Amino acid sequence: MHAFTMKKHSGITLLELMVVVAIIGIIASIAFPSYQNQIEKSRRADCQATMTAAANAMERYKTGAGQGSYADASVGTNGVFAATCPFDGSDTYYSLSLSALTANAYTILAKPAGPMTGTGRLTVTHTGQRCWFEDADDSGGSCTPF
């Protein structure tokens, strides 16, 4: 008679592989939304910094070329500041514009564009009030200072 010997098999089974894939899927489903949230925060922070620079440019305009007034200021290529956030690069996450423009007042408005649509607009006024209107791209919402 032959003695039965157990052969030792090396490798992994299909069940073990499926467990590993399931664990990776669970981790990914938790991590990806968090990653997306951080990307949105960094894009918003970049535009907030751009808007601060734009507010500084508006003050320089008023005391220089504007001769004491904001009324004729504009954005874009020949304007006081760039019309998009970020101002450098090929992607546009916010479109910048001026509203409530008078001789002594202005509001810089950043409306979400592209992948940032639906995340809320940003505003900076001549008084220095800075607001993020979460989930309100066009109008309404409550001001969250930044």
Instruction: Burial-class residue 7 by CB neighbours within 10 Å (0-12, 13-18, 19+).
Output: exposed
Residue 7 lies in a domain: no
pLDDT band at 22 (very low <50, low <70, confident <90, very high): very high
Residue 91 lies in a domain: yes
What's the pLDDT score for residue 66? Answer: 75
What is the domain count for the chain?
1
Tokens encoding 91? 């992607």
Residue 4 lies in a domain: no
Question: What span, in angstroms and rounded, lies between the C-alpha atoms of 21 and 38?
Answer: 25
What's the predicted TM-score (pTM) here?
Answer: 0.80
Give the CATH number for residue 119: 3.30.700
Residue with tokens 């101002």, as numbered in its chain: 87
Residue 56 lies in domain: 15-145
Residue 2 lies in a domain: no
The model's pLDDT over 34-90, given as tens digits with 9 standing for 90+, comes to 999 999 999 999 999 999 999 999 999 999 987 899 999 999 989 999 999 998 878
The Cα-based distances of 51 to 8, 13, 101, 133, 135 in angstroms read: 67, 57, 16, 15, 19
What's the pLDDT score for residue 11? Answer: 80
